Amino acid sequence: MTTRPLGKRRFALVVVAVGCLGVGLFAASAALNATGQADTANEAAAPDWLREAATRIFASCGDAAPESAGWALVSGSQYAAAVDETTGDEAGDVQLYVVVAHGDFRWYGSRPVETHAAPTGRTLVVTYDPTTHDMATLDLLIEDSAIEAELGATHEL
């Protein structure tokens, strides 16, 4: 078996292929944050765990298919400003996933007095801890709310 040196054309193709591979690897590594997870704040798709958790909470609140639902990764202070809260874990530099849905919701988690029905609302706002994936807060607003505008960019869930 004899080997031939690469011609100029083949050499150029190899260089281009290796360069494309390097650019692809750089782009993939740039998309990872410090924890090694994809930076979903800049992506249009919600993390699978967030979509699954939101689907469960929608169903448990009586509207498994809300009219619309969106999500955002925001700081606690952004969230607090959006919902006019300044207390609790929402304030500060902690990051939160916020899910906002519009539909017909009922909060069955509370124990209303026998003569009162469970609370209902049109806008469901749920926050999740991005590290533990635990639900942090749940707010049920009586009327439709434009909280998405207060949060900045939200992505469709």
Q: Where are the domains of the chain?
A: 40-156
Going by C-alpha positions, the residue among 142, 139, 143, 40 that lies closest to residue 99 is: 139
Helices (H), the chain: 8-30, 48-60, 76-82, 147-151
User: For residue 68, which amino acid is it?
Assistant: S
* pLDDT tens string 26-75: 333 333 343 344 444 445 689 999 999 999 999 999 999 999 999 999 99
Q: Residue 84 corresponds to which tokens in the numbers above?
A: 């006019």
Q: pTM value?
A: 0.66
pLDDT at 8 over 70: no
At 146, is the pLDDT very low, low, confident or very high (cuts 50, 70, 90)?
Answer: confident
Share above pLDDT 70 across residues of the chain, in percent, rounded to a whole number: 63
Instruction: Give me the pLDDT at residue 33, please.
Output: 41
